Structure formats: structure tokens, C-alpha cells
Amino acid sequence: MGSLIREGVFSMSVSQLKDVKMEHVNRYVDAVYKKVVQRNEGELEFLQAVREMFETIKPVLFQHPIYIKQNILERIVEPERMITFQVPWVDDQGRVQVNRGFRVQFNSALGPYKGGLRFHPTVNASIVKFLGFEQTFKNALTDLSLGGGKGGADFDPKGKSDMEIMRFCQSFMTELSRHIGPNLDVPAGDIGVGAKEIGYLFGYYKKLQNRYEPGVLTGKPLEFGGSIGRKEATGYGTVYFVEEMLNDQGQSFEGKTVIVSGSGNVAIYAMEKAIELGAKVVACSDSCGYIYDENGIDLDTVKEIKEIRNERIEAYLAEHPNATYVANSEKIWEVPCDIALPCATQNEIDEKSARRLVANGVLAIGEGANMPCTIEAINYFLNKGVLFAPAKAANAGGVAVSALEMAQNNMRISWTKEEVDERLKRIMKNIYKQSISAAENYEATGNLVAGANMASFIKVANAMVAQGV
């Protein structure tokens, strides 16, 4: 019987053997994804991130069956630790409020957990798990010794007084402090968590631990261990990555029309770097709507509105009455442009918006936010030949400079802005090279979505195999 089986196998052509092997890969991926859906029912954002990863790494599993033998997929999608906790605090009227806090410590194969904290009403288990999952692979691409994590709370700092924010942050850190440390888990800022919130969090961590550990939080103000260039890093890094992608096609930002969603740190500094490289940014947005200025967005005005006055983007019209305001942020994708940089939030570009962008002649997309395009939108862009820089690679600049901040903290030194920017630029170039190379090696030439997924997956998977079950 055994000899007959062997004869049957040996009688197969090479292509038939490949088909049998690929069928085995497909069955494995489908079985694991089915189990992920069952275990994480209703967690749409997390399932979307997992699905995108699974669909692109099949060639890697085909060439490296050890990953299937070691059941890496099922292990890599299950967080090593998921922490959920109550956050009670007292508002300015003396009323007790309760929010829910999260920290997902997703994967530590490459180093301590690293990822931001998000304070926003939309934060839930699905959101932090999808962000932690993506962070694992994003961090791997930086070539820095970082694992993946994410956290936050369904607390909205907007409209809160400084004292309310402080009391919330102190209550949040009371629990979080038990789970973090310079060599364990290093949080940072994300949506709703800026220098103010990081300051309150760090100050209370210091009191609780009775020691000064600057490397336990990144995104700190410069006065106590922050890194020059950190707030610019994600936006700058996105543009550096897109510039590399454009250069490979004989293109650049010079003379291009750009639209950017959002008006937080990522969006502001993506606009700044794009303008510096010769582009004209004509539109940006916030959650209420977007502004269009055919003469080019006045970035100083946007910084004044968002970083100092903390007002809605509509206030731009007071100083630039010739600009246009549209009270629907989703309609920003109807503005004709050469390059679109979604820098606001997840799933802000669906297939309908993608079709509109392509119809208006978009050349390239650079994801500054985490997963801002749906799977359907991504596939549409790729099918239409639009250059696409995925978030996993393109927005890794923030965590890269966070790691540089950790290094500076450990050495008790501070690098200049030029030094940090040069290191950031090198890291983003290297991420691009890794992504494009992996795509070529696994017969997906030019597909940076697949390339970034495959390159990062291999790094994490190899470490997991080496470290045992």
C-alpha cells in the first residue's frame, strides 16, 4: 500500500504537487480563520485585520511548511495577554464616572510589548486587538527589538477640564502600572493621548513605583525624557515611505496635489513633509467635516487651530474666507488629487470612496492611520494599478521614533532633531526595501500590502519557532 502511495506521488507532475501542497495551505488557513471567527465573534475590526494578513501570507506558508507544523497562525492571532479593567474617576461636579480600560499584550517574540494608548469613545476589545495585532507586525518591520501591544479606554478627553483628565489618567494608571515596565510593556500615545495625558500618566506611574523610569512611556514632553521629532514621526515617516514608492516609479511629491484626512499629529506632519517635498496640500479634515483650499492649505493656521486653540477645522475659514468647508468628513475623498494620505482612523476609505478617488485620477495612496482602507478598497486600488503604501509599513515611523526615545532614555542622552530625522528616514527606507523585496521573492512583485505582511510575518514567525511552544 505504501509503495502504491509513493508511486502515485512520484507519478505526479511538479505542477500537480504544487497544487496539492497549496490545497493543504488553503485548508489550514481556512480552518484557523474559522476558529478565529468563532473565538472572536462580532469583533469586526480584529477579524478584518486577521483576514487581510491571512490572505497575503499563503505563499510564505507554501514555502515554509514549518509554520504550519508549528501552528504559527493560530498562535500568532491569540494575544498573549488581554487585560480589561474598571476606571472610576470623579468629575468637576463631584460625580463618580466609570470607564473601561484595556491593554492587550499581543506578542513578545521580538521584544517587550510596544504600542499606544487610545482614549476615545469607540475603544473596545475589537479595536485594541486589531491595533495590537497590526502593531506586532509593524514593529517587526522596523528591525528594532519590539513586540506588539495596544491599549486605551472608552474615555473622551474632548470637553474635559485638565483636572478631569488628570484624575482619569491617575485612575487608569493605578491599574495599568501593574502590567507595564521598560522591559515588559512600553505604552505610548495614540488618538486622544497627547503630551498632556502622557505627562499625567508618567507622573502617577513614578509615584506608584517610587522610582524614575523614563523608558516606560514614550511620547513624553522634552522636559522629562521625550524625543525631539516624536510628534512629527508618524506623519513624516508616512511621507518618506510614499516618496520611496513614488521614486521607484520615476515619480515624486514635487508638483503633486495631495489631500490628507485628519488634522491631528499624523495628518499635520504628513502635510508638513509633503509640502516640504514640493506638493500642494489642498484639503484636510476632522470628525465634523473638511476644508478645501485650492491655493494650498495654510499649515500654520491649521496648527494654530488644532495644536493651540483646540477648535474645529471649520475655524480655518475665519482667516481664509476663500476656502470651502464641507460638513461631512467622508466627502473629502471626492476632492481630485494625485496622492491621498488617509491619516484619521480605521476604515475611512471604503470601495465607494476608492472608486471616486480612482475616477478622479489618484496616483498613490499612503496609509498614515491604522487600517484606514477596507479590504475591498485596497483590492480595488491594487486592481486599478494605484500605488498603495499599507499602514503596517507606511505609518511605522511613530513606533520607530518611540524606540529611539527608549534608547535615548536608557543612555540618558538626547539626540538632535537632525539625528532623529535621519534615523527615521533610514528606517522607513529599509521598511520599503524589505516590503518590496518580500513581494518579489514570493511572486507578488509590486504589491506592498503582501510584501509588508510577508516580511513582518516571517520575522515574528521565525522568532516564535526558535523560542519553542
∠303-265-123 over CA atoms, to 5°?
A: 130
Give 140-158 pLDDT, tens digit per residue: 999 999 999 999 999 999 9
pLDDT band at 259 (very low <50, low <70, confident <90, very high): very high
Whether the predicted model's global pTM rises above the 0.85 cut: yes
DSSP 8-state class, residue 388: E
Return the amino acid letter for 111.
Answer: G
* Whether the Cβ atoms of residue 392 and residue 137 lie closer than 8 Å to each other: yes
Class of domain 232-394: alpha beta
CA distances from 129 to 86, 214, 216, 282 (A): 18, 26, 21, 34
Tell me the one-letter amino acid at 123: V
**What is the rounded CA–CA span in Å between residue 443 and residue 466?**
26
C-alpha cell at 431: 521598511
pLDDT digits (tens, 9 = 90+) for 180-214: 999 999 999 999 999 999 999 999 999 999 999 99
| Within this chain, domains 81-212 and 232-394 share the same CATH topology | yes
What is the CB-side half-sphere exposure of residue 189 using CA atoms within 13 A?
A: 28
> 7 pLDDT exceeds 60?
no
Domain limits of the chain?
2-76, 81-212, 232-394
pLDDT tens digit sequence for 434-461: 999 999 999 999 999 999 999 999 999 9
Cα end-to-end span (Å), the chain: 35
Architecture of the domain whose range is 81-212: 3-Layer(aba) Sandwich (3.40)
DSSP structure string for 427-458: HHHHHHHHHHHHHHHTT-TT-HHHHHHHHHHH
Positions annotated as catalytic residues are 150
Is residue 88 scored above 80 in pLDDT?
yes
Q: Tell me the pLDDT tens digit for each residue of 303-317.
A: 999 999 989 999 999
Q: At residue 129, does pLDDT exceed 60? A: yes
Average pLDDT, the chain: 95
Predicted local confidence at residue 186, as pLDDT:
98
Q: What is the DSSP letter of 331?
A: G
Strand order in the sheet with 257-261: 324-326, 290-292, 280-285, 257-261, 339-342, 364-366, 387-389
3-state secondary structure of 103: strand
